Amino acid sequence: MVRTLLVRGLLLGLLAGLIAGAFAFVFGEPRIESAIALEEAASAQHAGSEHGGAGHTHEHGAEAVVSRPVQKAGLFLATGLYGLAVGGIFALVYAGLRGRVGPRSEGGLGLAAAGVAFVAVILVPFVKYPANPPAVGDPETINGRTVLYLVMVLVGLAATAVAAVTARQVGAGPWARWAAAVAVFLVPVAAAWLLLPSVNEVPEGFPATLLWEFRLTSLGTQLVFWAVFGALFGWACDRAARAPRAALAAA
């Protein structure tokens, strides 16, 4: 049973990842290209003014480790493998939640869990530390920013767990239960948004429209992944739950 769920999560995650990759390719790649063009123009100017130019740790041109066409193919590799890993973890967590927490129907639980995962793991960190295109972000601070990002993910997950436990304790009807769960979720999340250090490494003069469009596209990529994955996983679980009954009826 666990094995079936895990395989389902891995395969549907891979599929949803590739679909999200297609969305990112169509809407995201033009913005990445624009940002790289700005980055290269800025570093060329920099190298001109300070001869010898400080060794840039990240190259996109002909001297790069991986060429641009390969990086574009790598987009699908990245979103596909991301989907595989996330889908597998999701399926194992789902196996533990089934019959314990959330909606009673298989499809309903799959879809609801994917929606909650999107809010907790994607939206909560995104609000504090939004996605950045190339040229935005100082390579020197990558480790610190990665840690802060992961802290936000953990806050989102912990707040979700506390909200789920709270919802079970409140027995005063669905409205009170939902209100309590949302409040208990938002308190630690809002505290983290307020208290964790902010990051602003947008270079002077970087076009605001490009930054906004890139961030929207990045959030859209994750939304496509979780919506497609949740729908496929829920559908597959519903179908599997119905199959034995159909076999029984046919017998």
Partner 1 sequence: MSGLTTPSTLPLPRLRPWLLLGVPVLLLVAYLVLMDNGAVSQVGTYLHELMHDGRHLLGVPCH
Residue with tokens 């033009």: 30
C-alpha R_g of the chain: 22
Going by the DSSP 8-state scheme, the letter that residue 140 receives in this structure is: G
The CB-based long-range contact list for 193-196 (8 Å cut-off, 24+ gap) reads 193/127, 193/128, 196/128, 196/148, 196/151, 196/152
Amino acid (1-letter code) at residue 33: E
Task: Decide: 202 and 131 in contact? Cβ < 8 Å.
Answer: no
Checking phi first, is residue 54 left (phi over 0); if not, alpha (psi -120 to 50) or beta?
A: beta
Q: ∠ CA 185-190-196 to the nearest 5 degrees? A: 130
Residues making contact with partner 1 (CB under 8 A): 1-3, 6, 21, 24, 28-29, 32, 57-58, 64-66, 70-72, 74-79, 81-82, 84-86, 88-89, 92, 95-96, 98-100, 104-106, 109, 122, 125-126, 129-134, 137, 139, 142, 145-146, 149, 214, 217-219, 221-222, 238, 241-242, 244-245
Task: Decide: 238 and 107 in contact? Cβ < 8 Å.
Answer: yes
Q: Residue 51 or residue 100: which is nearer to partner 1 going by CB?
A: 100
